[in-house]
A and B are shown apart, each in its own frame.
Chain A
Amino acid sequence: MRVFHPILIVAAALLAVFLQARWNFPRLWLSVQIDLLPGLMVYAGLSAGLATVTLLAVAGGLCFDSLSANPTGVSVLPLFAIGLAIQRQRHLILSGQTYAQWVLGLAASAIAPVMVLILLKTLGRDPIVGPGSLWQWLVASLAGAALTPLYFRVFGRLERALCYRPFYETSFRPDREIQRGRH
C-alpha cells in the first residue's frame, strides 16, 4: 500500500488534467472548466504523507501548466500550499465525514484559482478576467466541493481492491481459554 498509494494519486492527477483538457462539456454548458486538482489535493492532504502531497503538487501543477498557456510552474505553489495547510492540521479534521470533505473541497477549489491569478498578475501576465470570472469561480468552487467526497469513495474502493487488508492481533489467547468439562 505504501508504494501504491502515491502512484495512484499521481496517476489520478494525470488523468484529471487530461479530462480537463479533453472534455469540453462543462465549458459548453456552464462556460466554466472545472479544476479537478484541488479536490484531489484535499484527499492527499488528509490521507497521505508529506512526500505524496509534494509529489502531487509538483506533478499535477506541471502537467496542468504543460497543457495550458500558464507559465510553467505557476500552479505548483498554490496546490502545495493547500496540501501543506491540510496536512499540518489533519489531526484536527474529521476526515471521514462527508461534510468536512465537502467544506475542504470548497475552500481548496476557491483558493487555488485565486492564488494562481495573483501569481500571474505578479508575473505581469494578462489573463482574461472580468465580471464573468465571478460566475466561473463560484461554479468551479461548488463543483470542486461536490467532487471531493467522491475522491474519498473512489480511492477507498481502490484501496480495498488493490491492497492487502491490515492484519489485526486479536485479544484471544488459546492458553487462557476456559476449558469446560473434566480435566
Chain B
Amino acid sequence: MRKAHYIALGFVLLLTLGLLRFPDRADPHVKPAVASLFVPLFGLAGSVERLAGRTSQALTPKRKLGEENERLRRENAELRMRLVQVEEAARENDRLRALIGWARSAPWKGKPARVIARDPANWWRSLHISLGRRDGVAVDAVVLTPEGLVGRVVEVSELRSRVALLGDPACRVAVLVMEGRQVADNGVISGSASVTDSSMVELSYLSPSREVKPGQSVLTSGLGGVFPKGILAGQVIYSHPIEFGLYKKARVKLAVNLDRIEEVWVTTP
C-alpha cells in the first residue's frame, strides 16, 4: 500500500471511531446537520407531488367532483352529529369522574404531518415526517392515523422528525388484548414478526394461563407513560407458548399499513 492509502485509511478509521465512540454526542449534532442537505430535495419532491395532485384534480370531470363533494358533505354532517354525541358523553364522563373523585384524563391534541422519507436501510423501521421542533413536536410524541397507532417520535430537528414505527426495536408498546369490552390479557409489542412483512409484529409476555384468540383487538394500555390508553394497534392472528411455558407470544396484524401511509397525526402537548 502506498503512503496515501495509509493516510486515507487512518483518516476514515479515526472519523468512524470518533463518531461511533460518542454516539450520544455525535448523533444529535451531526445527523440534523447532514440531513439538512436534503431539505431542498424534499421540498422539491413535495412541490412536484402537489403539482401532480393539482393537475390530476384539474383533469377530473366536474360531475365526478360534484359527486365527491356531495359524499363529503354527507360524511361531514354525520361526523358533526357524532361529535355532538361524543362531547356530551365526555361531559358526562367528567361529571361522573368528579363525583367519585377520579382525576380527569388529559385529552391529547394532534397535528397533521406528511411522510417525507423512509429509512433507507432494510434493518430498521422508521420514517421522517414534515413536522419538527418548530411545530411543537417533541421526542416520544405519539404518531397515529385514524386507523390506529403508527409509532413514536425518536429524533426531532428544527423542521422534521424521525418516527420509530411499530415493530422497530426502538418502539415497544404496552398493550391490552380485548375480548369485546373486557380485557383478556396484557402484553408488550416487542418487535417485528417478519423481516419482509412490516404489517406483522410480535406480542410478548402474555400470561400462559389466559386464552388469547385470533381476531381479538389489541389496544394501547397507557402503561409506560408514552402512549395514551385506548389506541388501536391491531388484531391477534394467532398465539403460541414459548419454550418452558414462561409466557405466551402472539402475532398481531397491525391496523395501519405502515408501508403505504402518506399522512399521519402527531400528538402535541
Please list the residues of chain A having a beta carbon within 8 angstroms of any beta carbon in chain B: 14-15, 17-18, 20-22, 24, 27-28, 31-33, 35, 50-51, 53-54, 57-58, 62-74, 76-77, 80, 84, 87-88, 113, 116-117, 119-120, 123, 125-133, 135-136, 140
Contact = CB atoms under 8 A, between A and B. Distances in A.
Nearest to B167: A128
Contact of A73 (B16, B38, B45, B196): B16
B120 A21 contact: yes
Contacts of A69: 119, 121, 124, 126, 154, 162, 164, 168, 170
Contact of B124 (A32, A127, A131): A127
A67 B5 contact: no
Closest 8 CB pairs of A and B: A73-B19, A132-B195, A127-B123, A31-B196, A20-B120, A21-B117, A66-B34, A69-B124
Interface in B31-74: 31-32, 34-35, 37-38, 41-42, 45
A16 to B, nearest CB: 9
Contact of A27 (B154, B167, B259): B259
A125 B168 CA distance: 12
A129 B123 contact: yes
B31 A66 contact: yes
A130 B195 contact: yes
Given A72-B27, A130-B192, 8 more contacts: A18-B42, A21-B117, A22-B117, A54-B8, A71-B19, A123-B20, A125-B169, A130-B194
A50 B5 contact: yes
A166 B126 CA distance: 48
Q: How large is the interface on B (under 10, 10 to 19, 20 to 34, 35 or more residues)?
A: 35 or more
Contact of B8 (A63, A84, A129): A84
A57 B191 CA distance: 31
Contact of B15 (A58, A64, A129): A58
B13 interface: yes
Interface string B241-263: 00000000000000000011000
A113 B16 contact: no
Given A54-B12, A72-B23, A123-B20, A128 B191 contact: yes
Most buried by A among B12, B18, B23: B12
A80 B27 CA distance: 21
24 contacts: A14-B41, A17-B38, A21-B38, A21-B118, A21-B120, A22-B41, A22-B42, A22-B45, A32-B196, A33-B118, A57-B12, A63-B34, A66-B31, A68-B119, A71-B20, A73-B19, A76-B16, A80-B9, A87-B5, A120-B123, A123-B23, A127-B124, A130-B194, A132-B194
A21 B66 CA distance: 37
Contacts of B1: 88
B11 interface: yes
Given A128-B192, A130-B194, A77 B34 contact: no
